[in-house]
Amino acid sequence: MTMANQTTEHIKELCKGPETINIMEVCGTHTVSIMRNGIRSLLPDSIRLISGPGCPVCVTTQGYIDAAIDLARRENIMLCTYGDMMKVPGKDISLDQQRANGADIQVIYSALDAIKFAQQNPQKEIVFAAVGFETTTPITAAAILQARELGLKNFTILAGHKLAIPVIELVAQGDAVIDAFLCPGHVSVIIGSDAYIDIATKYRKPCVVASFEPQQILNAIAKTVEMIVNGQIGVHNEYKAAVTAKGNIHAQELTARVFDICDVNWRSIGLVKNSGLRLADEFSSFDAVTKFNLSDIEKDYSMGGCKCGQVIQGMMDPNQCPHFGNKCLPQSPLGPCMVSSEGTCAAWYKYHPLD
């Protein structure tokens, strides 16, 4: 019997009772891995996996996306972005289409690449669309510090970084039925497993940290079910190879040096207290919003009845959305969930769970 088989059998054994166990995988990478590895097909019907708000692009306000597309349209600007943003629909066009129209848009892997572009193109304004959770934020912070050291005057960021814990807490308080959280691997490397203790104890929902390896996800699900069945509350770290209790202190300090915590709007979710990061005053010259006089980046609206908000808060599965697979397709998306590589709807569409 393979290891996966043993784990699956163990889970089935634990799930003999009639209750449904609702586990939210917070992170988009978990959603993709679960779908890609067919993990749902291995679990008993009584386990319900719910995708959470962990795709950075999917929680970015429409106003931010429109602003990024608007910036790319302007003369003399090079917009640097992570690949995930390219296909996200704006109010009339996506970055991908904007690039076809001749805009200077570069897909990058690291904020530090944008610094290189700024050095190589002193006559151009380089704007980095800085989105992502705790994993990408320290790199943006490092880029800002480097830009200051190099004296770069042509580099700014469109600040859109968000924090994972406040939104997990929001979901824990919300209407969705969730018994436990499968916590993100990469984010936990930075914030540490202790970051989930408050949520676990306050809302009595076990939190289990796991990497994105399929066997480890299965192990984490088994552990979660075990904790629920035995009435254990707390945090369990399945990803000890990379995640410590306190996380990466250096990365945390880097972020704290450059950014201040603020309240921000989340796409389709609304204002979440202390869940966003804005540039600290000392670094305000790197803020694209001020430099290019942008307004409304916090503004949010949904297009054509997109129900991303309900999907990422665990209130609806993608295939329960009336637009999924007909009005909303990867080639003609209503919202980012359908096009981001970490988007719940995109993962469901690509890897259709077998009925």
| Contacts with another protein, residue ranges (CB under 8 A) | 2, 4-5, 8, 35-42, 56-57, 82-84, 86-87, 89-94, 96-97, 99-101, 107, 109-110, 131-132, 135-136, 186, 214-215, 218, 303, 330-333, 340-342, 349-354
Distance, CA of 275 to CA of 60 (rounded, Å):
12
Shortest Å distance, C-beta 132 to another protein: 5
Kindly tell me which of 286 and 348 has the beta carbon lying closer to another protein: 348
Residue with smaller CB distance to another protein, 136 or 154: 136
Q: Which is nearer to another protein, 172 or 259 (CB)?
A: 259
Quote the least distance from Cβ 130 to another protein, whole Å. 11
Closer Cβ to another protein, 166 or 325, answer by number: 325
User: In whole angstroms, how large is the CA radius of gyration of the chain?
Assistant: 20
Q: Are 35 and 353 in contact (CB under 8 A)?
A: yes
Closest distance to another protein from the beta carbon of 297 (Å): 18
Nearer to another protein, 200 or 217 (CB): 217
CB 52 within 8 A of CB 171: yes
Q: For another protein, which is the closer residue by CB, 97 or 252?
A: 97
Q: At closest approach, how far in Å is the CB of 231 from another protein?
A: 29
- Distance, in Å, from the CA atom of 269 to the CA atom of 320, rounded to the nearest integer, reads 18
Q: How far is the CB of 348 from another protein (least distance, A)?
A: 11
Least Å from the CB of residue 35 to another protein: 7
Judged by beta carbon, residue 181 or residue 349, the one nearer another protein is: 349
CA distance 52 to 313: 6
> 94 or 310: whose CB is closer to another protein?
94
- Please state the closest distance from residue 63 (CB atom) to another protein, in A: 15
Q: Are 354 and 319 in contact (CB under 8 A)?
A: no
Least distance between another protein and beta carbon 46 (Å)? 17
Residue partners of 89: CB distance under 8 A and separation at least 6? 65, 303, 333, 334, 335, 336, 339
